[in-house]
C-alpha cells in the first residue's frame, strides 16, 4: 500500500516537474529558400506557353461574341444601329471578360500542378503569361472577327449589315492575370507546407 502510494506520488511529481519547466529555447527549423536559378527556364516556358493561349482565346471569342446589326441610312454608307443592337457592345466585352477569367483560372491551376517548380518565380511567370494571353486575345479576336464579318461589296440603301464584334475597354485584360494570381494564392494557402510540397514531386 505504501509502495503504490509512493509510486503515484513520484509520478505526479514528475508530471508536475515536466509541466513546470518553461521551454526557453527550441531548435529552429530551417525554412526552405526560394529557388530562382533552377526555376528560370521552366518559368520562361510557362510564360510563353500561357501567352500563346491568347490565339485560341481570341478565335473562340470571335465565334461567340454577337455582331451588331446596323442599317444603311444614307447613300454614302452611313450606318445606324437597329433597336437594342447597341447592347451587343457590352455583351462582347462581358463575354471576353468571362473567357479571360476562365483562362486565368486554368493557367493558375496548371501552374500549381507543376509541383517541383512551385514558388514565386513560376507564379510571376504564370501571371505574366496570362496577361500576355489576354492582350494577345484582344488583338487576335478583333482580327478574327473582322475577317468573319468582312463586307465585300458596298451595301445598298436600307439594307442591314452586321458589324464585327469589338472590345471598347482595355481593362478587360486584367481579368486573366487577376484570376491566375487568386487561384494560385488560394492553392498555396490550402497547401500549408513550407516548401509547397516541392520535395514530394
The fraction of the chain above a pLDDT of 70, given in percent, is 75
Sheet holding 68-72, edge to edge: 79-81, 68-72, 160-163
What is the C-alpha to C-alpha distance for residues 201 and 36, in angstroms, rounded to an integer? 17
What pLDDT is recorded for position 162?
74
What is the C-alpha to C-alpha distance for residues 197 and 191, in angstroms, rounded to an integer? 8
pLDDT for residue 3 is more than 60: no
pLDDT for residue 40 is more than 50: yes
CA atoms within 13 A on the CB side of 131: 11
Tens-place pLDDT, residues 6-28: 554 444 444 445 445 455 555 56
Domain ranges of the chain: 42-66+91-145+168-200
Tens-place pLDDT, residues 128-148: 999 999 999 999 999 999 998
Q: Which helix (H) or strand (E) holds 14?
A: helix 2-20
What is this structure's pTM?
Answer: 0.76
What pLDDT is recorded for position 56?
97
- DSSP E strands in the chain: the ranges are 68-72, 79-81, 160-163
For residues 79-99, give the mean pLDDT. 84
pLDDT for residue 112 is more than 60: yes
CA distances (Å), origin 88, targets 10, 65, 68, 102, 122: 84, 8, 6, 21, 37
Going by pLDDT thresholds of 50, 70 and 90, the confidence category of residue 116 is confident
CA distances (Å), origin 43, targets 70, 116, 122, 124: 46, 12, 5, 8
Tens-place pLDDT, residues 151-186: 777 777 766 777 889 998 999 999 999 999 999 999
What does the H/E/C string look like for 129-187? HHHHHHHHHHHHHHHHHHHHCCCCCCCCCCCEEEECCCCCCHHHHHHHHHHHHHHHHHH
| 3-state DSSP helix/strand/coil % of the chain, to nearest 5 | 65, 5, 30
Amino acid at each position: 500500500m505504501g509502495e503504490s502510494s509512493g509510486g503515484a506520488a513520484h509520478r505526479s511529481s514528475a508530471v508536475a516537474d515536466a509541466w513546470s519547466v518553461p521551454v526557453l529555447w527550441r531548435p529552429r527549423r530551417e525554412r526552405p529558400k526560394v529557388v530562382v536559378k533552377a526555376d528560370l527556364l521552366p518559368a520562361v516556358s510557362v510564360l510563353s506557353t500561357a501567352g500563346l493561349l491568347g490565339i485560341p482565346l481570341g478565335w473562340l471569342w470571335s465565334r461567340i461574341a454577337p455582331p451588331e446589326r446596323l442599317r444603311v441610312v444614307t447613300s454614302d454608307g452611313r450606318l445606324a444601329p437597329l433597336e437594342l443592337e447597341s447592347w451587343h457592345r457590352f455583351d462582347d466585352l462581358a463575354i471576353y471578360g468571362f473567357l479571360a477569367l476562365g483562362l486565368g483560372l486554368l493557367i493558375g491551376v496548371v501552374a500549381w500542378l507543376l509541383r517541383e517548380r512551385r514558388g514565386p518565380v513560376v507564379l510571376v511567370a504564370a501571371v505574366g503569361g496570362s496577361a500576355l494571353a489576354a492582350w494577345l486575345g484582344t488583338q487576335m479576336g478583333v482580327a478574327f472577327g473582322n475577317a468573319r464579318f468582312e463586307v465585300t461589296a458596298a451595301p445598298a440603301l436600307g439594307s442591314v449589315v452586321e458589324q464585327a464584334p469589338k472590345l471598347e475597354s482595355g481593362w478587360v485584360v486584367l481579368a486573366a492575370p487577376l484570376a491566375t494570381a487568386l487561384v494560385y494564392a488560394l492553392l498555396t494557402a490550402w497547401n500549408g507546407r513550407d516548401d509547397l510540397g516541392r520535395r514530394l514531386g
